[in-house]
Chains A and B, each alone.
Chain A
Amino acid sequence: MDAVISVQSLTKVFGSREVLHGVDLTVRAGSVYGVIGPNGSGKTTTMRCLLDIIRPTSGQVRVLGQDPRQGGPALRRRIGYLPGELFLAGRVTGRQLLARYEDISGPVEPGRIGELAERLGLDLDRHARKLSKGNRQKLGLVQAFMHQPDVLLLDEPTSGLDPLVQQEFHSMVHEASINGQTIFLSSHVLSEIQQTADTGAILRDGRIIAEQSMEALRTSAVRRVRLGASKITAGDAVARLLAVPGLGQVEAVASDGGVTLTATLEGAVQPLVRALGSLELTDLVIEEPDLEQSVLALYSEHQADPT
């Protein structure tokens, strides 16, 4: 499959401050690529480079095979963009505002705007500046999705949205991806990326420090394990489980005639299940992996790295 977005060794210097120190990433057609990173890590700057709002200091950027600088308006008509901080003009209704953006973006199918507004629960007849943060965000989403662009660049798309609307947004992203549209989104909240993206990348201090498919991130993720077993001492139980690769933070508490044990498991589940076969289990809980924890682990590894 073709790379719809490709960024190589992208750097950006503002004055004396280097904001991006060589970002490399590739987004394939029809995929959902999520960038996670704290505020100020360079997510917005990267997106702005893809739109030719900001010009790279060095490195190569291609969107749909074109340099954004050369691609000009024709290329940007094929992109839908939701800025991280959305400012909308005053004295017009949402409908009028969208009509203005429709004038300068790709063709919008009749009825498309109404349909999107209904899905998100947005009243188009209210004045744009009287809208709450969440409703402005919905207007921004409609604006990004309405012309069914080949590429969607969404900077912090769910900020201000309530959970039900977030769900609707996730299904919009899913549908767009099935349609063959390519989605590049950013968030400082991992759970959002976790729910929508196929691939997650962690951007920190202007550099991609990890990039993995969500599937791989899930397998490398840390799970919490809690079990109860009878007819065994705490010491024996711990001894048997220590052989399991990836198991750590084992704590065992003896309870009458048995033991209650908690631990963390990193990596595959199978070896643990095999080891558990020799125990008389009274209880077993293996929790969903907490990607937040594995990402934090990646962060701290990176920080420990002296380079």
Chain B
Amino acid sequence: MIRLPLFRRALGDSWRSTLAWGLGLAAAAFLYLPLYPSLGGSTQMQDLISSLPAEMTKALNYDQIATGPGYTQATLFGLIGFLLMAIASVAWGAAAVGADEESGQLELTLAHGVRRVQVVFERSLAMTLRIVLLSLVLLTLVLALNGPAQLGIAPSHAVGAATLFAGLALVSGSAALCAGAISGRRSVGLAAGGAVAVLSYVSNAVGRQSPDLAWLLDVSPYTWAYANSPLANGANWAAVGWLWGISGALVAVAAIALEQRDVGV
């Protein structure tokens, strides 16, 4: 029987914060989505967007804000939801190993009948499950508000976009976990995970400005996930594979790094 004691413990410790982030996402969805008919879809809004510099609308992904999927993408999946999820996943990733070691608790856990690899895998599984749960919350809200807010999003496209949304958060969370496991420091995990999330967003925004900078788009997980407007056109499943695959690889590196080194020094 698979008991996964560390996984259960990690979930038990974090249900409060998971709930809080879920409420935050719900608040964002309820704030933005019902405004679409009067805001994104209105001609005045369209005029306003057109009057803005093209660089700015591109950077904010507001160029498609006149459609329901474009509006949902630009406001929720691409901006406020992305931000909330990045913060949550980076915090969880940095806490999973790095902060636990820094506080001195990892030492006692490892003195018991567990393997280090098991610690990394069970805790990253707990982080993944929380990210998936929050993405499901977002998906449920989008589907629920789809009709009332006249968004016109195909449900299958919403599922694909939520999968990418989760994958994007998972990459920064896993980067935080990996850096924390290598260094044994919470701050290093936070810095690495934050850097991945921020650079991913910024290189997308900058890369869209001119063809000379387009190479930035190739290295931005944010672009991989959202370049083809998944809410309008369905997910790019290759991007899903990349995001989840890279996350898996980062967790594997974390496990190997922790297995090799001294703990708590």
Residues of A within 8 A of B (CB): 14, 48, 51-55, 72-74, 76-77, 79, 81, 83, 85-89, 91, 100-101, 103-106, 143
A76 to B119, CA, bound (A): 15
A87 to B108, CA, bound (A): 9
Contacts of A88 in B (CB 8 A): 105
A101 to B114, CA, bound (A): 11
CB B5 to nearest CB in A, in angstroms, measures 4
A169 to B230, CA, bound (A): 64
Q: Is the pair A106, B105 in contact by a Cβ cutoff of 8 Å?
A: no
At the interface, yes or no: B55 with Cβ under 8 Å from chain A?
A: no
Q: Is the pair B113, A106 in contact by a Cβ cutoff of 8 Å?
A: yes
Contacts of B265 in A (CB 8 A): 14, 54
Render B241-262 as a binary contact track against A, CB cut-off 8 A, 1 for contact: 0000000000000000000001
Given A73-B113, A89-B13, A100-B9, decide whether A53 and B107 contact each other with a Cβ distance below 8 A.
yes
Q: How many A-B residue pairs have CB under 8 A?
A: 69
What would 7 more interface pairs be, CB under 8 Å, given A76-B112, A104-B6, A105-B113? A51-B111, A53-B263, A73-B115, A81-B112, A86-B104, A101-B108, A104-B114
At the interface, yes or no: B57 with Cβ under 8 Å from chain A?
A: no
Q: Is the pair B107, A104 in contact by a Cβ cutoff of 8 Å?
A: no
Contacts of A143 in B (CB 8 A): 108
At the interface, yes or no: B110 with Cβ under 8 Å from chain A?
A: yes
Partner of B112, one of A48, A55, A85, A101: A101
What are 10 A-B pairs with beta-carbon distances under 8 A? Answer: A51-B110, A52-B110, A55-B262, A72-B115, A83-B107, A83-B111, A86-B108, A89-B105, A101-B108, A106-B113
Given A53-B264, A100-B5, decide whether A81 and B108 contact each other with a Cβ distance below 8 A.
yes
Name the residue on A nearest B112 (C-beta): A104
Contacts of A73 in B (CB 8 A): 112-115
At the interface, yes or no: B42 with Cβ under 8 Å from chain A?
A: no
Q: Is the pair A54, B262 in contact by a Cβ cutoff of 8 Å?
A: yes
CB A145 to nearest CB in B, in angstroms, measures 14
Q: Is the pair B104, A76 in contact by a Cβ cutoff of 8 Å?
A: no
Contacts of B112 in A (CB 8 A): 73, 76-77, 81, 101, 104-105
A199 to B16, CA, bound (A): 49
A72 to B111, CA, bound (A): 10
CB B262 to nearest CB in A, in angstroms, measures 4
Partner of A76, one of B3, B16, B105, B111: B111
A59 to B111, CA, bound (A): 21
At the interface, yes or no: B103 with Cβ under 8 Å from chain A?
A: yes
Name the residue on B nearest A96 (C-beta): B12
* 7-21 of chain B: CB within 8 A of chain A: 8-9, 13, 16
At the interface, yes or no: B64 with Cβ under 8 Å from chain A?
A: no
Q: Is the pair A53, B13 in contact by a Cβ cutoff of 8 Å?
A: no
Q: Is the pair A87, B9 in contact by a Cβ cutoff of 8 Å?
A: no
A111 to B194, CA, bound (A): 47
Contacts of A55 in B (CB 8 A): 262
Q: Is the pair A54, B263 in contact by a Cβ cutoff of 8 Å?
A: yes
Contacts of B264 in A (CB 8 A): 48, 53-54
Q: Is the pair B111, A81 in contact by a Cβ cutoff of 8 Å?
A: yes
Name the residue on B nearest A49 (C-beta): B262
At the interface, yes or no: B109 with Cβ under 8 Å from chain A?
A: yes
Contacts of B8 in A (CB 8 A): 103
Contacts of A72 in B (CB 8 A): 115
CB B7 to nearest CB in A, in angstroms, measures 11
Kindly list the 8 A-B residue pairs having the minimum CB-CB distance in the complex, ordered from nearest.
Answer: A87-B104, A103-B5, A73-B113, A77-B113, A81-B111, A104-B112, A54-B262, A105-B112
